[in-house]
Amino acid sequence: MNVQGRGRPRRRRSSRDGTATMTLVAHLTELRKRVGLSLLFILLGTALAFWWYEHGLGAFIRAPYCGLPEDLRYNDADGDCGLLITDVFGGALIRLKISFIVGIVLSAPFWLFQLWRFITPGLKRNEKLYGVSFVAASSGLFALGAALAYVSLAAGLRLLLGLAGDGVIVALTAQDYIGFVISLLLAFGVSFELPLIAVMLNLVGALSYAALSSARRWIVFLTFVFAAFVTPTQDPFTMLVMAVPMIVLFEGAIQVARVVDKRRARRAAIESFHDLDDDEASPLDAAPSALDGRATQSEPLHSPST
């Protein structure tokens, strides 16, 4: 009986992900696969949005405009609200544009998952956690900004169109209105991502709480300047609607940076003892601590004899 090697321990196979050791050609092949799947999901989302356009999506987009008073919007002979189209292909192009943008939004979880599957093998565990948190938080903040823009859209239109005064018939074209709505939603959504970028820079150690706290006044000032330039309408109402929530989010980012820096300093203080030799004294403060007020005065150990 062959007993050779019976006592030799078996080597455990490494549990590393095979995609982390791919060649360049394999990486390009994997990238092509992920991009292809992402485009397929976007195409399916676009087709769904194209069908949805006649079943509520178009009315949802026109709702802020059609909710204005009748003297501030265009009405046909039957009194129904509508947008003007000035060329033959205008209606088809508008519907395709809206369907494509909505399709990207609807399919975002699927193509973001494909992107995540491509970059995950090259990341460490803490980087993966940061990545998941960043994607989830950025998606939520973008949706929050877009929702706020949609809610404030009707008030902004009423303010801007009302400035035309009496005797002026307001009739917006579909191209102008859709472009205005999309640019406003994107401006609000992207602007709400800026405080999250500050948090991520703090997590990687590139931006400290002290720097953010000392620049708080500049952050407030630059936020108002940014809102004044980014908003498509550039009116005071829309600027305030964008700037005030951004300032609140930046203040939240500063507080998160404060907590992170405290934990980082506490962790660094603990890990600083690991580099000491066994016979080396730790850098502890050997001075006696201050006593409370009742024990500050010296008292004799024995009462004097009478």
pLDDT tens column, 20-67: 566 778 888 888 998 999 999 999 999 999 999 888 888 888 888 888
Task: Tell me the helix, strand and coil percentages in the chain, rounded to 5.
Answer: 70, 0, 30
**Phi first, then psi: what are they for 84, rounded to 5°?**
-90, 145
Lowest mean pLDDT among 10-19, 65-74, 126-135: 10-19
CB 171 within 8 A of CB 84: yes
The pLDDT of residue 156 is 81
The rounded mean pLDDT for the chain is 79
Computed over its alpha carbons, how large is the radius of gyration of the chain? 31
Q: What is the DSSP letter of 89?
A: T
**Top-confidence range, 104-108, 129-133, 137-141, 216-220:** 216-220
pTM for this predicted structure: 0.70
Q: Calculate what percentage of the chain has a pLDDT beyond 70.
A: 77
Distance CA 226, CA 185 (A): 16
The pLDDT of residue 251 is 93
Distance CA 64, CA 118 (A): 40
Mean pLDDT in residue range 240-267:
90
State the amino acid at position 188 in one-letter form. F
